[in-house]
Amino acid sequence: MRPLPMEREFLPALYAAVLNEDIEAATDWLTHGAWVDEPTPGGDTAFCAAIRQGVDPLVRAMIFCGADLTQVGVEGQPPVALAALDRKTPVLKTLLGAGADPDTRVATPVHQRFIDAAGLRDLKSSFVNDAGLTPLMLCAIRGDVDTAVLLLRAGASTDKHTTLNRRYPINFACTQGYLFLMRVLLGRDPDSEPAMRVTVDLSLQRAYVKKHGVVIDSCSVSSGRKGFDTPPGQYVITNKYRSWTSTLYHVEMPFFMRLNCSAIGLHAGYVTGRPASHGCVRLPPSKAKKFFELLGVGDEVEIVP
């Protein structure tokens, strides 16, 4: 955000140089001891302006000159949150390398320009109706795998949740259906593909476990009956529970493997070879136990019509 015209004559020299994208002048002011964190009349700083402009060399120089990694700019956002909101990944990498907290929360209320630029409905809604988003959550909403990996390697936590609706990074990725990002958030290596995969064929009422693309086991299943149909799609196993009781129907579901943080999953149950469940995929008990042992959190499940 640029300052109002009447403010320009009062702008600190370093800030004015950054605002004009005059890197040479800004570097000269830094060399001569300009105060990096000097606020403008509007409450901005040269450091936040450089982040907003995405000028990574200048951000590096300001950090070298002692820039405060926590001082907010005109939007009321700390530098790490500002870089994440503006999708300035190189700058974010520099901030994290300098020791900025990767779990810095996005301050609320969120400035209108970020809301207007949100694009995705989930992101815009979260800015308006939730609070306490982290940079990792922003990546999860946008499907930004590279920046998510950067944050995770810098120590960002997948266990942080928003303060109002208690949504975790994995919940945002599941909402958008980002399979690869879900796997990364669940701790899987971003540079490798999962060996195990499950295909559930609803028309055949049969499940197949594949290892490196080769079927190693299969069984009959019972999917959701009419009115409770099991939705076809691509899923990731997000939770595993050897013993689980449904919170909706209060029935036991041994060897439960939840899909995409949703109410449905794979579990042991009565199998008729035809649709019979409330939406989950029932497996014969012996097969449910075996599949549970073969599959891990982060493995993919494809449900086909």
Could you state, in order of their start, the residue ranges of all structural domains in the chain?
5-185, 196-304
- pTM for the model: 0.89
CA 131 – CA 109 distance, rounded (Å): 8
Q: In the CATH scheme, what is the homologous superfamily, with its name and number, of domain 5-185?
A: Ankyrin repeat-containing domain (1.25.40.20)
196-304: which CATH topology?
L,D-transpeptidase catalytic domain-like (2.40.440)
Cβ contacts of 16 within 8 Å, gap of 6 or more: 8
Bridge partners for 231 per DSSP: none
Could you read off the pLDDT tens digit of each residue along the chain, which spans 305 residues? 444 444 445 789 999 999 888 889 999 999 888 898 899 988 999 999 999 999 999 999 999 999 999 999 999 999 999 999 999 999 999 999 999 999 999 999 999 999 999 989 999 999 999 999 999 999 999 999 999 999 999 999 999 999 999 999 999 999 999 999 999 999 998 888 889 999 999 999 999 999 999 999 999 999 999 999 999 999 999 999 999 887 777 788 899 999 999 999 999 999 998 999 999 999 999 999 999 999 999 999 999 99
Residue type, 48: C
Q: Which region holds residue 69: left if phi is over 0, alpha if psi is between -120 and 50, else beta? A: alpha
CA 171 – CA 137 distance, rounded (Å): 9
In the structure encoding, which two tokens stand for residue 221, read together?
A: 């299943």
In the structure encoding, which two tokens stand for residue 59, read together?
A: 């951000």
Cβ contacts of 277 within 8 Å, gap of 6 or more: 222, 223, 224, 225, 228, 230, 269
